[in-house]
Amino acid sequence: MRATLIVAALALASCGDSEPAANQQAAGPPPVEMPPLEAEQGADITDSASRLAANQDGTRMFNRRCGVCHLAGGMGTNVLTPRVGPENALLASRPGGVPADYVQQVVRNGLGAMPGLSRVEVTDAELDAIAAYLAEDEVG
Ligand code: HEC
């Protein structure tokens, strides 16, 4: 009887050891695919001079600077869903677009759970391109 209990306790203990790792893997939203900067084609966006140049790629910059929170599954999208409705939660495909001056204000000053982003994190040239991209009505 006692031996059976000890065996059962050992079995439970060893189960317990392997479970936390499995549970951690299952928890939370799936990770966002983010290739390293070096893997991207085109302008060298790690070069600070090119980050200040006009004519940045708004789509790429939005995905790069804002995507971790504002693509599907991001915490920005999740916070916005109950506030503005699921059809408006993804900024890049919000019907009618997002007004450019509103984007500029929110990014520099922050809003609720979103921190304001400095000119080091997002340069003015990058933000101009992002705001123009988000202002487009991209339904479809
Ligand atoms: C750290 C995560 C995070 C990053 C990075 C981030 N945001 Fe946000 N953003 C949020 C959250 C969270 C909210 C919702 C704030 C709230 O309602 O409390 C939000 C809200 C907004 C809103 C307001 C939308 C509305 O309907 O009122 C805009 C516009 C916006 N973000 C634009 C951007 C842009 C552009 C970038 C990139 C330059 C960016 N955000 C980067 C988390 C983020």
* Single pTM value for the model: 0.77
Which of 111, 117, 124 is the pocket-test mutation for ligand 1 (most atoms within 8 Å of CB)? Answer: 111
Which letter does DSSP use for residue 90 in this model? S
Digit-coded pLDDT (tens) for 77-124: 999 999 999 999 999 999 999 999 999 999 999 999 999 999 999 999
CB of 80 closer than 6 A to ligand 1? yes
The tokens of 74 are what?
């991001």
Q: What is the pLDDT of residue 18?
A: 47
Using the atom order of ligand 1, give the atom closest to the CA of residue 83: 17
Query: Helix, strand, coil proportions of the chain in percent (round to 5)?
Result: 60, 0, 40
**pLDDT tens per residue, range 7-41:** 544 444 444 444 555 455 566 666 667 666 556 66
The fourth-level CATH superfamily of domain 34-135 is Cytochrome c-like domain (1.10.760.10)
Q: Ligand 1: does its nearest atom lie under 6 Å from the Cβ of 82?
A: no
